[in-house]
Amino acid sequence: MLSPRTSGDLSEVVVPRRRPYAWREVGLAAALVLPNLILLALFTYRPLLDNIRLSFYHWNISSPRRTFIGFANYLEWFTARDTGTVVLNTLIFTVAAVLGSMVLGLALALLLDQKLFGRGAVRSMVFAPFVISGAAIGVAFQFVFDPTFGLIKDLLERIGIASPNFYQVPGWALFMVTVTYIWKNVGYVFVIYLAALQGRRAELDEAAEIDGTSAVRTFFRVVLPQLRPTTFFLSVTVLLNSLQVFDIINVMTRGGPLGTGTTTMVYQVYQETFVNSRAGYGAAVATIMFLVVLAITLVQVRLQDRQD
Amino acid sequence: MSITNRTDGTETTEPFELIGSDGRAGATGASGPAGAGTTGPQAAARTRRRTTPKPGERGTTGKMLGYLGILVTVAVIMVPLYFIVITSLKTRPDIYSDPITWWPNPLAPENYLYVQQEVAFLSYLRNSMIITGILVVVKVTLGVLTAYALAYLRFPGRNVIFILVIASLMVPNQITVISNYALVASLGWRNTFQGIILPLAGVAFGTFLMRNHFLSLPREIREAALMDGAGFGRTLFRVILPMSWPTVVAFTLITIVNEWNEYLWPFLMSDGAEVAPLPVGLTFLQNNEGLTNWGPVMAGTVLASLPILIVFLILQKQMIKGLTAGAVKG
C-alpha cells in the first residue's frame, strides 16, 4: 500500500489521503460500475434529453417521420382549453394525497405506538395495501365505488345518504381516485413515522409530563418538532410519488369522465403520446412535468441544507 | 462480524419494533463502530419509555379512545378487502343485488377457474415471475457491485458517478417512456422480455442503500482481508457480504415488491399474454369483462395480489427495514 504523501499544497491538506490511482483498482471499479452506469445512461439520461428534443417535433410515435415545429407544442399546451383542467386535477390530487396520507399516516403511527392489545397485527394490516399493486387495487376499488352495487353506496344508504355518481361526475371521480390512492399508500407514511417515533428521545415527553403539560400541548410542542426531518422527507417523497401516479388512474377512470375528469399531467403524457398519437405534444408535457419535479427537488435540497 | 451479530441480537418478536434503530443505522452511514454503541443506550431509552405512560396512554379514557381508533382502522382496511373477496366468490345475480349480500349465496369458486380458462392467468403469473426474478437478480447484483466500487475503491470521477446514480432517482419513469418506447420498438423488442426488462434494470436506490451500508462497516475489516492477500471476490463474498445480509435482504425485498407491481412500462410494452405481467393482465381482464362480469375480475385481483401479500406477511420486518433506511434520520 502506498503511504499518503504530504506537501505544502492546500488541496493536499484538505484531502490528506491523496495518492496516485492504482490502475488495477481503477480497472476493477470500471468493471463493477459500468454495467449499471450504462443502463442508467441509456434508459434514464438519454431519454431525458431525447425527450426535450422530441418536444420540438410534430410526431406520431409509430411513424419514422417527424416535422420540426419549434415551440409550437409548448404554445399549444399553454393556450389549450384542457390545460387548466389538467393542471387543476394534478394540483387537487397531489395536495389531497399529500395532506391526506401525511395526516392519517401520522395519526396511525401515534395510535399504534401506544401500548394497545393487538397493535402488531394492526400495524401489518395498515402497511399491507402498500405492497399490493396499484392496478389490482384500482380495479377492485372501481367496484367498491360502484354507484349502484358498490360497497360505498351500500354503506351510505344505510345512513340515509344517496351515493354520488363516482363514475360520471368529474369531481367525484377525482375524489374516488384520490381516496383509493391514500388507502393504498398511507401505510408507507405510517411506517416511516412509526420508525421515527420509536427512534426519538422519549425523555422529553417525561419532562413535559412532569411539568403537567397536556397531551395536546406535548404533541405540538415536543413530538411534532422532533419529527420535523421525517415530515420534511415524507412530504417531498409523497409529493413526487403522487405527481407520478399512473396505474390507479388508468384502471379506474382512463382519465375521464368527460374526457379530462381525472386527467393529471402524467396521464396526459400517456394519453397524448400513446392514445392520440401525438408524441411530440406528449413529450412537451413530459418536459414541463420534469421541470416541476426538478424545481421541487432543488427546493428540497436547498431546505435540507438549511435544516442541517 | 461481532457487530452484525450484535445488531441482529437486538431483534424482538414484534416485526415493527426495531425499525427505528435499524433504519437509522442504515441511513446515517455511521452505524459501524457506532452501531454497537447506539444499541445500548437506545434499548435503555426504549425500556424507560415503556415504564412511563405516554400522553394519551394514561387513564381508561385514553385506552378506550385507542381501541376505538384501532376498531375504525381495522374496519376501513378490512371491510373493502372482505367485500372484494366475497365478490370474487359470488355469482352474477348475487353481485348485482341491492342491498349487498354479505355472504356469497351460492358460493361461486368457479370465478377462479374462469380466470385461468378465459384469460390465461397462469401465463401472466409465469411472466410476472420471469420478469421479477430476472430483474431482482440483475438489480441486486448490479447494486451491490456499484456500491462496492463507490464505497471502497478509488477511481477518477467517483463523486460524479455517485451523483449521477442518485440523481437518476429524480427522473420519473413517466418522462423517459416516450423515448424509450421509440428505441425499444425500433429494435423490434416490443412484446419481448428483454424489451420489458432492460430499460428497468438500472439501479439507483439500491446502490445508495448498499453504499451507505458499506460505508458504515469498519474500514479495518476490509483492509485486513486485503492484507491477507484476499482478492476482490474473496473480500466481497467472505468478508463484506456476510456482514451485510440484512441490508441485502431488505434491498431484495423492496426490489421484488417494486418489480412485481411495475405497471406503466410493461403495459406499454405488451399486447397480450405472451409477456405481460399480472398487473397488466388484470387490465386486459378488466377490458374484456368490462363492468359486466365483476366476479372473475375480482377473482383475478385477489389472485394477483396473493403472492406478494404472502411474501410480505412472511418477511415484513426485513422489507420495512429497507424502506425506513434512508428515510429516518437520527
| pLDDT per residue as tens digits for the range A266-305 | 999 999 999 999 999 999 999 999 999 999 989 888 888 7
**Residue for grid cell 395510535:** A111
Cβ distance of B73 and A125 shorter than 8 Å: yes
* pLDDT for position B26: 34
Comparing alpha-carbon positions, the chain B residue that sits nearest to A213 is B55
Examine residue B35 and state whether it is found in any structural domain, yes or no: no
- Within an 8 Å CB–CB cutoff, is residue B1 touching chain A? no
Residue B324 pLDDT: 80
- Domain of residue B238, CATH code: 1.10.3720.10
Coil, helix or strand at residue A68: strand
Considering the domain architecture, whether residues B133 and B209 belong to the same structural domain is answered as yes
The domain limits of chain A are 79-249
pLDDT, position B58: 55
Q: With a cut of 70, list the residues of chain A below it in pLDDT.
A: 1-18, 201-205, 209, 307-308
Alpha helical stretches, state H, B89-108: 92-95
For residues B322 and B102, give the distance between their C-alpha atoms in angstroms, rounded to a whole number: 38
User: For residue A202, what pLDDT is reported?
Assistant: 67
- Alpha-carbon gap, residue A87 to A84, rounded angstroms: 5
The Cα–Cα gap between A307 and B302 comes to 44
Contact B286 A139 (CB under 8 A): yes
pLDDT of residue A187: 94
How far apart CA B184 and CA B181 sit, in angstroms, is 5
Q: Which 220-259 residues of chain B touch chain A by CB within 8 A?
A: 232, 257
Does any domain span residue B39? Answer: no
CA distance B329 to A233: 9
Do B142 and B281 share a domain, yes or no? yes
Which CATH number applies to A79-249? Answer: 1.10.3720.10
Closest B-chain CA to A194: B20
What confidence tier does B100 reach under pLDDT thresholds 50, 70, 90? confident
Same domain? B96 vs B214: no
- pLDDT range class, residue B290, cuts 50, 70, 90: low
Nearest CA in chain B to A26: B155
Q: Please check whether residues B169 and B248 belong to one and the same domain.
A: yes
> Which residues 100-119 of A have a C-beta within 8 angstroms of B?
107-108, 110-119
Mean of the per-residue pLDDT values of chain B: 81
Which residues make beta-bridge pairs with A68? A57
Cα–Cα distances in angstroms (integers) from residue B299 to residues B110, B235, B271, B280, in the given order: 9, 49, 22, 15
Same domain, B148 and B90: no
pLDDT digits (tens, 9 = 90+) for A24-74: 899 999 999 999 999 999 999 999 999 999 999 999 887 878 899 999 999
Q: What angle do CA A302, A305, A307 make, to 5 degrees?
A: 110
Residue B22 has pLDDT above 50, yes or no: no
Structurally, chain B folds into a number of domains equal to 2
> Do B183 and B83 belong to one domain?
no
In this structure, how many other beta carbons lie within 10 angstroms of the beta carbon of residue B12?
Answer: 10
Distance between CA A126 and CA A152 in Å, rounded? Answer: 20
Residue B46 lies in a domain: no
Measured between alpha carbons, how far is residue B133 from residues B139, B257, B322 in Å? 10, 11, 19
A 222-261 near B (Cβ less than 8 A) = 229-230, 233-234, 237, 240, 243-244, 246-247, 250-251
Looking at the domain assignment, is residue B196 inside a domain?
Answer: yes
CB contact A47 to B (< 8 Å) = yes
**Which one of A33, A195, A203 has the shortest CB-CB distance to B161?**
A33
Q: How far is Cα A102 from Cα A112, in angstroms, rounded to an integer?
A: 15
Residue A204: how many other CB atoms lie within 10 Å: 15
Whether B165 has its CB under 8 Å from any CB of chain A: the answer is yes
Amino acid letter, A134: G
pLDDT for position B309: 93
Q: B20 lies in a domain?
A: no
Question: Please, which pLDDT band fits residue B5 given cuts at 50, 70 and 90?
Answer: very low
Q: Do B266 and B224 belong together in one domain?
A: yes
- Same-domain status, B136 and B75: no
Cβ atoms of A282 and A270 closer than 8 Å: yes
How far apart are alpha carbons A132 and A128 in whole angstroms? 7
User: Is residue B239 domain-shared with residue B138, that is, in the same domain?
Assistant: yes
What is the separation of C-alpha B143 from the centre of its chain, rounded to a whole number of angstroms? 15
Of the residues B68, B87, B108, which one is the last residue of a structural domain?
A: B108
Contacts of B96 in chain A (CB under 8 A): 149
Report CB contact under 8 Å: A157, B56: no
Please report, rounded to a whole number, the percentage of residues in chain B having pLDDT higher than 90. Answer: 48
User: CA-CA distance, B210 to B306, in Å (whole number)?
Assistant: 29
Considering only the beta carbons, identify the residue of A122, A243, A247 that sits closest to B70: A122
Cβ atoms of B143 and A36 closer than 8 Å? yes
Mutate to test the interface with B, among A110, A133, A277 (most CBs of B within 10 A): A133
Asked if B1 and B217 touch (Cβ cutoff 8 Å), the reply is no
State whether residue A287 sits within 8 Å of chain B by CB: yes
Q: Does B92 reside within a domain? A: yes
> Domain range holding B76?
59-108
Same domain, B65 and B202: no
Cα(A184)–Cα(A130) distance, rounded to whole angstroms?
A: 5
B195-221 burial: b if 16+ Cβ within 10 Å, else e: bbbbbbbbbbbbbbbbbbbbbbbeeee
Mean pLDDT of B128-134: 97
For residue B7, being part of any structural domain is answered with no
CA distance B273 to B123: 6
Tell if the CB–CB gap between A290 and B161 is shorter than 8 Å.
no
Residue A207's closest CA among A226, A181, A189, A191?
A226
Same domain, yes or no: B184 and B209: yes
What H or E segment, with its residue span, contains residue A92?
helix A81-113
Cα separation, A2 vs A301, in Å, equals 37
What count of other Cβ atoms lies within 10 Å of the Cβ of residue A268? Answer: 28
Q: Do B213 and B301 sit in the same domain of this protein? A: yes
How many whole angstroms separate alpha carbon B128 and alpha carbon B173?
A: 19
Largest pairwise CA distance in chain A: 84
Q: Is residue B89 assigned to a domain?
A: yes
